[in-house]
Structure formats: structure tokens, C-alpha cells
Amino acid sequence: MQMVDHLSEFRKQTAGELRLHRIELALTKRELHVIFGLLLADISKLNLPKSCSISFPNGNDDLMNFEVSIRPDEGYYCCFMVVSLANNTNKCSTDLLLCIFSGGTFLFYFQVSPTYPHEAPKVKCKTKVYHPNIDLEGNVCLNILREDWKPLLNINTVIYGLYHLFTEPNYEDPVNHDAAAVLRDTPKMYESNVRRATYGGYVGQTYFQRCI
């Protein structure tokens, strides 16, 4: 008799757990539907620079995982000095300003959390790049992906933030400490290292695939 009672109680618990599981699944589907709607609205309103593009490798039904390609046409510049023969003084010619990242294509992978927009998307750089704010494993140091994220921000804001990493690399908040130290102490060497990495080659002991 006692065994029958235990079996009956077990069945009640199992049935209750199944009902709870169904409720949780329904809530999860509803939440995902809301997030899908938010993402669809965000993506449909994207206003990106011409040098940025977005793609969905898993198809358009999977908006929570996508890739963004950035091809900087402006950015951290190296500036060559030329001599003016007219007055024998040095001047900086804007014609000789060169963006050190120009011509490169840098691919970023986005994974959007089910708690978006209350949590920032997770972003990794799939292109190995010599940059103080992107380490060799692709981890990105960008304030709006961390402590400065707010639910009012969106995917467009993040992409612009990534784009501006190429305009203003920041050695004061690095994840690649070697690149940050070189940028801070010897900017000309930093410029040389970036070009070597972009065109494919070794920087120190690290090999970079050509991305230009």
C-alpha cells in the first residue's frame, strides 16, 4: 500500500513538473518572439557607413547570430611630412594622410542574448588584427559592450562603436597590452606593425593572415 502511495505521489510530481515545463517553454517562446521583433526593428533601421555590411550565415530566420563586416575607409592615420620648397618650412600635406587600416576587411560575429536589450550583444572579431582594443582571440574592449551598455542602445550603436575603434584606437583601455604599449610609446612602429599584420606576416612571434 505504501509503495502505491509513493507511486501516486511520484506521478503527481511528474505531471506537475511537465505542466511547469510547458509553461516555461511557452514563456520562452513568447520572450523570443518579443526579442525577434525588437531585433527585426533594429536591423530594419540600420543606418551604417557604406564600408559596413551585415550578413546572416544561418539564414534570415536566425537574427540572434549574425556577422558584420567593416572595411575602414578612414581611421587612425599616419602622416608624412613634406618640405615646402617655397618657404623652406615643413608642412603636413593632407594628400599624404594614409589610414593604416584602409583596405582591410574585419569580420565581427554577434550573438544576441535572450535578455536583449537589457544585456549587450556578445561580439567577437573573427579577423586577427593588431589593435590595442582587440586581442588575438578576438575579444573586443568597447565600453558600450560592458559597463556603459543601456537598453536604449541598439545594434546600430554597437556597429558604429566598432567602426570607431579603427578611427581612435585607445591605448588607455587595452586588451592587447603589447599593441597598446607600442601605440603609446612608438606610434611609427605601431603603424608599421598594423600594415605588416594587415598585409599578412609576423608581428613578433604572432602570424597574421592577410585581410586586405
pLDDT above 50: residue 7: no
Of 52, 79, 92, 141, the catalytic one is 141
DSSP assignment of 29-98, as one string? HHHHHHHHHHHHHHHHT----TTEEEE-TT-TT-TTEEEEEE--SS-SEEEEEEEETTTTEEEEEEEEEE
CA distances from 206 to 166, 174, 178, 210 (A): 20, 18, 12, 13
Residue in the structure block whose three cell numbers are 542602445? 153
How many alpha carbons lie under 13 Å from residue 163 in its C-beta half-sphere? Answer: 20
Task: Tell me the pLDDT tens digit for each residue of 131-190.
Answer: 999 999 999 999 999 999 999 999 999 999 999 999 889 999 999 999 999 999 999 999
Residue 26 burial (CB count, 10 A) = 10
Phi, psi of 75 (to 5 degrees): 160, -155
Of the pLDDT bands very low, low, confident and very high (cuts 50, 70, 90), residue 29 is low
Residue 124 has what pLDDT? 98
Tally of CB atoms within 10 A around 41: 10
Q: What confidence score (pLDDT) does residue 98 get?
A: 58
Confidence grade of residue 206 (pLDDT, cut at 50, 70, 90): very high
Active site residue 141: yes
Q: Show the domains of the chain with their CATH numbers.
A: 19-78+96-208 (3.10.110.10)
**Mind listing the pLDDT tens digit for each residue in 106-140?**
999 999 988 899 999 999 999 999 999 999 999 99
pTM: 0.77
